[in-house]
């Protein structure tokens, strides 16, 4: 991606008439990592075309019909990195389950067994030779006015997921793990319900 990304910031919901086809990359930023405690602040989306749409939420205002319709659209594959967090917090705040889902972190864990580095920064560097800054990761996402650095960081978390998916799909196919990955992706919504309903750190499959 050579040209600077076009980043559009929207308040409360996506504008009407904005459509994606096939798949959409999604990420979210919150006040912290506990969906029961930490409110959802921003949802980012990209169609994989180098552009990003950011939706910022004011406290308690999660009536976002266009965004909810997009999440509920089963013709759209939602691509996340670590979907387990985003799908759970989207379910908790917007009351909609994202399906079908693709997770680049799970794909990486199943395909790239030669490393234990599956963070987005590492994936972008190794697979795409893109340097991602994580400097704004732990910033105040609840701020009324987000900084230019925050907007650029938030956008960068969705801009490369389509390219990563394409390369990880090739690796999964090569290693014979495409179906296993698909079955893991299908289980994510259930895993998120377990997280939200009281089994976040417990393996219900263990003895
Ligand atoms: Mn992010």
For 20-37, what is the mean pLDDT?
96
Query: How many angstroms is it from 9 CA to the middle of ligand 1?
Result: 15
Query: How many angstroms is it from 157 CA to the middle of ligand 1?
Result: 5
Over 80: is that where the pLDDT of 47 sits?
yes
What's residue 130's pLDDT?
Answer: 95
Over 70: is that where the pLDDT of 1 sits?
no
What's residue 58's pLDDT?
Answer: 97
Query: How many angstroms is it from 158 CA to the middle of ligand 1?
Result: 8
Over 80: is that where the pLDDT of 3 sits?
no
Query: How many angstroms is it from 71 CA to the middle of ligand 1?
Result: 17
Query: How many angstroms is it from 78 CA to the middle of ligand 1?
Result: 15
What's residue 151's pLDDT?
Answer: 96
How far apart, in whole angstroms, are the C-alpha atoms of residue 138 and residue 130? 21
What's residue 137's pLDDT?
Answer: 81
First to last CA, the chain: 48
What's residue 134's pLDDT?
Answer: 82
Query: How many angstroms is it from 207 CA to the middle of ligand 1?
Result: 35
pLDDT tens for residues 119-130? Answer: 999 999 999 999
What's residue 201's pLDDT?
Answer: 86
Query: How many angstroms is it from 206 CA to the middle of ligand 1?
Result: 31
Query: How many angstroms is it from 26 CA to the middle of ligand 1?
Result: 9
Query: How many angstroms is it from 155 CA to the middle of ligand 1?
Result: 8
The full DSSP string for the chain is: --SPPEEEEEESSPPTT----SEEEEEEEESSS-TTTS-EEEEEEE-SSSEEEEEE--TT----HHHHHHHH-TTSEEEESSHHHHHHHHHHHH-----SEEEHHHHHHHH-TT-S--SHHHHIIIII------TTTTS-TT-SS--HHHHHHHHHHHHTHHHHHHHHHHHHHHTT-HHHHHHHHHHHHHHHHHHHTT-TT--TT--
pLDDT > 90: percent of the chain: 93
What's residue 158's pLDDT?
Answer: 98
Residues with CB under 5 A from ligand 1 (ion): 27, 157
Q: Please state the pTM of the whole predicted model.
A: 0.95
What's residue 138's pLDDT?
Answer: 86
- Structural domains in the chain, CATH included, are 6-197 (3.30.420.10)
Query: How many angstroms is it from 80 CA to the middle of ligand 1?
Result: 10
């Amino acid at each position: 991606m050579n040209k600077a990304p076009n980043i559009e910031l929207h308040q409360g919901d996506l504008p009407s008439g904005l459509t994606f086809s096939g798949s959409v990359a999604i990420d979210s930023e919150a006040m912290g990592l506990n969906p029961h405690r930490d409110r959802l602040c921003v949802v980012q989306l990209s169609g994989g075309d180098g552009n990003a749409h950011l939706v910022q939420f004011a406290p308690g205002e999660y009536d976002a019909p266009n965004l909810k319709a997009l999440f509920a659209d089963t013709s759209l594959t939602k691509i996340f990195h670590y979907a387990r967090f985003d799908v759970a917090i989207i379910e908790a705040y917007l009351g909609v389950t994202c399906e079908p889902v693709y997770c680049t972190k799970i794909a990486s864990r199943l395909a790239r067994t030669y490393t234990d580095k599956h963070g987005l920064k590492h994936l972008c560097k190794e697979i795409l030779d893109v340097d991602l800054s994580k400097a704004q990761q732990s910033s105040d996402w609840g701020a009324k006015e987000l900084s230019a650095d925050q907007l650029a960081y938030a956008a960068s978390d969705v801009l490369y997921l389509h390219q990563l998916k394409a390369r990880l799909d090739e690796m999964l196919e090569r290693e014979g793990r495409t179906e296993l990955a698909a079955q893991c992706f299908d289980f994510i919504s259930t895993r998120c319900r377990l997280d939200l309903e009281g089994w976040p750190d417990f393996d219900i499959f263990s003895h």
